Amino acid sequence: MILAYLAIALAAIIGFVLIPSRRVLHILAAAESAAALVVTGVIAMTVPLPAADLGPGTGIFFADHLGVFLAAVSGIVFFFASLYAGGYTERLMETGELNPNNLRLFYSGLALLQVFVTLAFFANNLGVFWILAELTTVFSALLVAILAARENIDAALKYIFIVSAAMLFSFAGIIFLFETARSTLGEGTLAWTTLMKHASSLSPTLLFAAFVLLFIGFAAKSGIFPFHTWLPEAHSKAPSAVSAVLSGVLLNIGIYGIIRVFALVHQTAFAEKVSLLLIVAGLLSVGIAAFAMLYQKNLKKLIAFSSIENMGLLLIGIGVASPLAIFWAVVHMLAHSLTKASLFLSAGILHRQYRSHDPGADDRIVDVFDLQPSAAWGVIIGTLAIAGVPPFPIFFTKFFLLVQVATVSPWLLVATLLLILVAVAGMARFLIREFSARSGPGAPRPTRYVVPLGMRLSFVLLIVIIAVQGLWFPAEEVSVITDIVAELGFGGV
């Protein structure tokens, strides 16, 4: 199964290098992401979970319900981003923002990013997970800088510097974790399955120290305060198909690492201290993002700050650490990924319509319902969904996470709820101001950007999936997420 992902990516890259037709390249990119998603579906349906080993007897890769679940979510986002990228890159090449010679590099980077993300979710060895997480940073930064504009290169370098510097702390944490296992078990190991079996017997002090170091790197990967400063720049400057992947997929890798290591330390006497750390970091992230959203004038930056807010909310839910809180945190990861992808894809169309030629200027949106009604409604519906308006799934995840927060502290509930309302107010203020703007009498109206079918279809289908998810929560999905909570050691839901 692991070799299947690699073979698909390799075959696609060979095609990107050899095929001269750009139209065929666009089709191949979507086919590659779809094929990888199919492999994940095969694993979910045919491999008894949890599986101890996906590789040839090495124990480096394994599959459990959490890994398969997030790999499937990532596959969906990658597929729609690849479908969107066809028409999007054509316009970038028409305007000279993307060198046609770099199209092959763009699609090759996207294919490699998908395979490294997927393998990261299947990594049993935490050292291998760290390496794969770093590779995703490199290739996602490449995709941010692919436009070769100065602001894109600056954003990519800032992204690499902050995240990779923080990940050095995680590397030190991995060394601590290895030594903790060696001192207790007589043999060092980074295998998560082995560490989970013996977590309660590991040194609580050393395990806590390892968690703090690992948390620094994984928090930076997820845009958690105070390591969040790279995120608004990278997400807003990247091509919109890449922005969807960054927000809908890459942020989950850091949260995934935090959940995995927290599941270990949760079995020790330091569980409450770690929970407090997560809740404080989460609350600060929600607060910083919420107040930043109040004054945003750039749509993609607004959506990026919303990602920081939602990552903070996830940390609060994980920190509560009750079975129901973990359950709804996992559901929130799904809902956030799909909703944020739809938002960035819709916003990308508006950016193409109103793009300012001044790198430092924000896009001035006018007559939006006349020029781009479908994208405007896509942004509005996506905003309602991410804000937690029923019947979208984030309404349920936020509601039940807040219910669990109330069991910890009513003051924490009040603070979290008020900050969420500030974030919602910021998004509402932006939409009312920008989407109601009209060009003045006699003012020239911008030329209407003709949206290719693949771009329009991508965000519309994502919105349909989100709406269905909010109205229908199948028993099979409940069972999978319940198994995730149990396999992480948080008990039954």
Residue 67: count of CB within 10 angstroms of its CB: 29
Long-range CB contacts (< 8 A, 24+ apart) of 377-380? Answer: 378/342, 378/343, 378/345, 378/346, 378/349, 378/459, 378/460, 378/463, 379/299, 379/343, 379/346, 379/347, 379/350, 379/431, 379/435, 380/431, 380/435
> Within a domain: residue 493?
no
Q: Report which of 223, 225, 253 is spatially closest to residue 235, judged by C-alpha positions.
A: 223
Considering only residues 345 and 451, tell me which one the structure prediction assigns the higher pLDDT.
345
Domain extent at residue 227: 2-440+449-487
7 half-sphere exposure, CB direction, 13 A CA radius: 6
> Within a domain: residue 58?
yes
CA distance 265 to 268: 5
Q: Give pLDDT, residue 56.
A: 58
- Longest CA–CA span in the chain (Å) reads 80
In this prediction, residues 408-414 reach a mean pLDDT of 93
For 183-197, the pLDDT digits (tens) are 888 888 898 988 998
Q: How many domains does the chain have?
A: 1
Q: Give pLDDT, residue 423.
A: 94
DSSP class of residue 442 equals T
Residue 68: count of CB within 10 angstroms of its CB: 23
35: its two tokens: 């094929």
In this prediction, residues 435-458 reach a mean pLDDT of 81
Q: Give pLDDT, residue 317.
A: 95
For 205-243, the pLDDT digits (tens) are 999 999 999 999 999 999 999 999 999 988 888 899 999
Q: Give pLDDT, residue 315.
A: 96
Q: Give pLDDT, residue 188.
A: 83
Residue 52 phi, psi (nearest 5): -70, -30
Surface-to-core class of residue 433, CB atoms within 10 Å of its CB (0-12 exposed, 13-18 middle, 19+ buried)? exposed
> Within a domain: residue 245?
yes
b/e burial code for range 258-272 (CB count within 10 A of at least 16 → b): bbbbbbbbbbbebee
Do 162 and 137 touch, CB atoms closer than 8 A? no
> Within a domain: residue 492?
no
Cα 258 from chain centroid? 14
Cis peptide before 50 (omega within 30 of 0): yes
Q: Give pLDDT, residue 94.
A: 85
Q: Residue 63 forms beta bridges with which residues? A: 51
> Within a domain: residue 176?
yes
Q: Give pLDDT, residue 2.
A: 83
DSSP string, 143-169: HHHTT--HHHHHHHHHHHHHHHHHHHH
For 426-442, the pLDDT digits (tens) are 999 999 998 888 877 76
Residue 349 phi, psi (nearest 5): -70, -40
In this prediction, residues 71-84 reach a mean pLDDT of 95
Residues whose CB falls within 8 Å of the CB of residue 42, separated by 6 or more in sequence, listed in order: 1
Q: Give pLDDT, residue 492.
A: 73
Three-state DSSP state, 47: coil
For 42-66, the pLDDT digits (tens) are 998 988 888 777 765 567 888 899 9
User: Whole-model pTM?
Assistant: 0.95
Three-state DSSP state, 334: helix
Three-state DSSP state, 310: helix
> Within a domain: residue 414?
yes
Looking at every residue in the chain, the average pLDDT score rounds to 90
CA distance 160 to 137: 7
Separation in Å, CA 262 to CA 101, 131, 283, 488: 44, 19, 18, 9
Q: Report which of 319, 300, 330 is spatially closest to residue 238, judged by C-alpha positions.
A: 300
453: its two tokens: 């079918």
Q: Report which of 275, 262, 325, 202 is spatially closest to residue 488, judged by C-alpha positions.
A: 262
CA distance 327 to 162: 31
Rounded-to-10 torsion of CA 472, 254, 208, 402: -30
Q: Give pLDDT, residue 131.
A: 95
Q: Give pLDDT, residue 149.
A: 76
Cα 235 from chain centroid? 11
Residue 360: pLDDT over 90: no
> Within a domain: residue 319?
yes
Residue 398: count of CB within 10 angstroms of its CB: 22
DSSP string, 171-212: HHHHHHHHHHHHHHHSS---BHHHHHHHGGGS-HHHHHHHHH
In this prediction, residues 407-429 reach a mean pLDDT of 94
Q: Give pLDDT, residue 48.
A: 86
Cα 86 from chain centroid? 21
